Amino acid sequence: MATICVPVRVHRPEELSGAINVAAREGDLVEVRADYLAEPEVVLPIVRELPDDLQSRIVITLRSAEQGGELPHSHDVRRAFWTRARELPNVLFDVEVDLLQERDLPFDLGRVICSHHDFTRVPTDLEKIYAQMAATQARTVKIAVQANDAIDCVPLFKLLERAKRERRELIAIAMGQRGLMTRVLGSSRGSFLTYGSSDEESATAPGQITAQGLRSLYRIDSIDAETQITGLIGNSVGHSLSPYVHNMAFADADLNAVFLPFELDDVSAFLKRMVRPGSREINWNLRGLSVTAPHKATVIGHLDWIDEGAREIGAVNTIVVEGGELHGYNTDAVGFIRPLKQRNESVAGLRCAVIGAGGAARAVVWALKAEGALVTLFARDKAKSETLARQFDVSCRGLSNATFHEVDVVINATPLGTYGKAEHDTPATSEQLRGVRLAYDLVYNPSETRFLSEARAAGCETIGGLDMLIAQAVEQFKLWTGKHPNVDVMRATARGRLGIDA
């Protein structure tokens, strides 16, 4: 089972004991961050008074400002603190390598975690840093560095392999959203522990998730060398519901599988160094990937085989590792058309306006054409929409001042309305939508977008993006596992995350 260490970060001494007890219920170890206190010495008598069984689960930390400390305690203050702290029985000490190398400040090295942090990058001399820290003879070496792309995790996994060969205890973490995989998979690859906060507001490092999330969402205790890895690649995946939908479906089906978000810029390097069996640099049982913006078209040139529909659409949203090959599919088209067909006896002959000209719009237009719908494309980017219209033999118009009273269905295939900066935007107002029978928004987070609100105000029926999300996720699950998922579990999970009443 994985060892999860829960940090305690409070600014007032009177809050410390209660916070330690909360953290102890959530995790296996408790890291007491003394650098959050103006007078870090107050930590010591409080820890000394803890019951022996709890005291043995404590890790005391006093970070310097350069190493991520909350308050700027001087070198002398840190020395004085550790001179007193090292007299505590039972507890572990997380000490930066600079202090550990000062010979006149001896520690019981059997209780020391020697740590180094870099909040800007993965150092090019990471192996050298590790060797210098290992030479201190501290019980455990801890290296935490910033991941600026998912491929930055590769050196951390390689370091864990080295430490295992050398029989050294190592904690290796890539910080930030792009390093999440090291927090979830590290323990199964030999990392001494991983960190998880007691709640979403209490994280002490970039990318740190909750201890509950590690255990209930990612099922970290059951991850091993045989676990099938799947995940989402894109550039901005932090708010995706896919990890929740797929991981809960894996758990319901009792499958040894996990779904992770992989945020990245360089899709070519990721596929080469982490995905393709013949060239990947880490040993993991990667089964497949979901692909989102902006990589749906880019990945095509890196695949060995592409499904006919995905090839015609010109976008892949699902990759399956088959033996030594990478196969590409597009489940967006199926996911989109299924909810629409449930509302209409036939899609053939429906007058459909598709707003957008990106990867999602390509799948929508292809699916509509395959069903015999009459499609008109609307987009702000005239050149892009004209190219797409010619490819699929549909008409196109500019979006500015467009009206849709002559169409049956309007589909928003743009990101407008998505959680974040564009949340309050809409590609069409109620005035433009008046007379339309059905408005279909592919955006699912939030569940109630401004586009849907405008459509209801215009008297339209509506379909939200959640229906498409679930329908395409079902097809992905089947491609990766060969099994049909529990759709009710998928839908209930997504609705719960979006705060939609059952």
Active site residues: 296
55 burial (CB, 10 Å; 0-12 / 13-18 / 19+) is middle
* Phi, psi values for residue 488, rounded to 5°: -65, -40
Per DSSP, the three-state class of 41 is: helix
* Phi, psi values for residue 130, rounded to 5°: -60, -45
* Closest to 30 measured CA to CA, from 56, 64, 7, 1: 7
* Closest to 378 measured CA to CA, from 405, 414, 406, 337: 414
The C-alpha angle with vertex 293 and arms to 415 and 303, in degrees rounded to 5, equals 150
User: Whole-angstrom Cα distance, residue 89 to residue 348?
Assistant: 76
Joined tokens for residue 353 = 């306006």
* Closest to 188 measured CA to CA, from 212, 217, 164, 153: 164
Transcribe 375-439 into DSSP letters: EEEEES-HHHHHHHHHHHT-EEEE-TT---TT-SEEEE-SSTT-SSTTTT--SS-HHHHTT-SEE
Which residue spans within 421-490 are E strands per DSSP?
438-441, 461-463
Joined tokens for residue 475 = 């097809």
Q: For residue 274, give the DSSP letter.
A: I
Q: How far is CA 486 from CA 250, 254, 258, 337, 445, in A?
A: 9, 11, 16, 20, 22
Is residue 92 within 8 A of residue 47, CB to CB? The reply is no
Is residue 367 within 8 A of residue 333, CB to CB? The reply is yes
Q: Give the number of other CB atoms < 10 A from CB of residue 202.
A: 19
Is residue 322 within 8 A of residue 288, CB to CB? The reply is no
* 449 Cα distance to chain centroid: 23
User: Whole-angstrom Cα distance, residue 341 to residue 212?
Assistant: 39
Which residue's entry shows tokens 């009177």? 14
Size (the chain), residues: 502
